């Protein structure tokens, strides 16, 4: 756990806090924490570039809880991806999809990942600060950060995979534009009834330039099916808050990415 100036908060967009359903979430309590959780898997081996998994959490959460409740560290270990997990603190324990710098500021995601990579090199975890591949993952309200970083973050050339866990609530055009016909980029959306209509909307948008969409049932999907580089949509009736950890789908989806396997 380490603070970074380039983390999402503090940010002017939440200088006065945020109101939701009659309750106020103050800047001091919810939008002043610049903590970033960093996890280096036990098998990690430094390479010529640094590959990252950057995860954006949903509403009413904090970094330690996200790491433990959703078993992110354990699932990265099991996936054997030679990448380092990065989890920035978004709105802390607040019902809010805003993500400060990462969502709203030009080049903010580039500054953030380069700051983290520089830190990793400075403490000897890596031998370079050069960024390789990035897999971006988000659960629920984390979509705001991802939509923003795909629009103005400055790192789209490095992002190989965008994986959403019931997180298509907005920014449809940002996701569609990023996932334009390009085999180096893979868009994967796992969804429940909460976001079924939104996923259908994005399917229609993506199908126009890229008609080879893949649609799967979560109860029968296989790793081989997920490894297509076409936009992939997976429907499930697993509960919204269980999507990442109940059936180890975070591990499975990481295995489907372009990230290098550690041997």
Residue 212 is predicted with a pLDDT of 85
pLDDT at 210: 74
Q: What percent of the chain has pLDDT over 70?
A: 100
The interaxial angle of helices 143-152 and 108-122, nearest 10 deg, is 100
What's the whole-number mean pLDDT along residues 10-32? 98
Q: Which residue has the higher pLDDT, 34 or 228?
A: 34
Q: What is the pLDDT of residue 69?
A: 98
Greater model confidence, 35 or 211: 35
| DSSP one-letter code for 63 | H
Token pair belonging to 247: 């059936």
Given a cut of 80, whether residue 65 has pLDDT beyond it is yes
Q: Which CATH superfamily is domain 2-255 in?
A: Alpha/Beta hydrolase fold, catalytic domain (3.40.50.1820)
Mean pLDDT of 127-133: 98
Q: How does pLDDT run across 203-234, given as a tens digit for each residue?
A: 999 988 777 899 999 999 999 999 989 999 99
Q: Are 244 and 227 in contact (CB under 8 A)?
A: no
The Cβ of residue 123 has, within 10 Å, a number of other Cβ atoms equal to: 11
Q: Are 146 and 167 in contact (CB under 8 A)?
A: yes
List all residues 6 or more positions away from 150 whose beta carbon is below 8 Å from its beta carbon: 156, 159, 162, 171, 174, 175, 177, 178
- Where do the structural domains in the chain lie, given as residue ranges? 2-255
Q: In the predicted model, what is the mean pLDDT of the chain?
A: 96
Q: Is 124 left (phi over 0), alpha (psi -120 to 50) or beta?
A: left
Q: Is the pLDDT of residue 109 over 90?
A: yes
Question: Using an 8 Å Cβ cutoff, are 145 and 167 in contact?
Answer: no
């Amino acid at each position: 756990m380490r603070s970074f100036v380039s983390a999402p908060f503090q940010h002017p967009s939440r200088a006065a806090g945020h109101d939701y359903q009659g309750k106020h979430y103050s800047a001091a309590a919810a939008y002043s924490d610049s903590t970033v959780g960093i996890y280096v898997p036990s098998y990690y081996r430094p390479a010529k570039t640094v590959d990252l998994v950057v995860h954006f959490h949903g509403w009413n959460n904090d970094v330690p809880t996200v790491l433990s409740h959703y078993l992110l560290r354990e699932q990265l270990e099991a996936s054997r991806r030679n990448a380092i997990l990065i989890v920035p603190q978004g709105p802390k324990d607040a019902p809010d999809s805003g993500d400060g710098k990462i969502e709203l500021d030009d080049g903010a995601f580039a500054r953030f990942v380069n700051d983290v990579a520089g830190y990793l090199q400075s403490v000897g975890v890596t031998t370079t600060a050069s960024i390789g591949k990035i897999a971006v993952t988000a659960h629920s309200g984390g979509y705001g950060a991802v939509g923003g970083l795909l629009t103005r973050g400055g790192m789209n050339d490095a992002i190989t995979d965008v994986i959403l866990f019931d997180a298509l609530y907005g920014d449809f055009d940002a996701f569609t534009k990023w996932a334009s016909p390009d085999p180096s980029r893979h868009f994967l959306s796992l969804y429940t009834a909460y976001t079924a209509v939104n996923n259908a909307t994005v399917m229609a948008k993506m199908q126009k330039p890229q008609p080879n969409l893949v649609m799967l049932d979560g109860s029968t999907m296989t790793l081989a099916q997920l490894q297509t580089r076409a936009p992939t949509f997976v429907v499930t009736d697993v509960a919204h808050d269980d999507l990442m950890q109940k059936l180890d789908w975070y591990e499975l989806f990481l295995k489907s990415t372009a990230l290098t396997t550690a041997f």
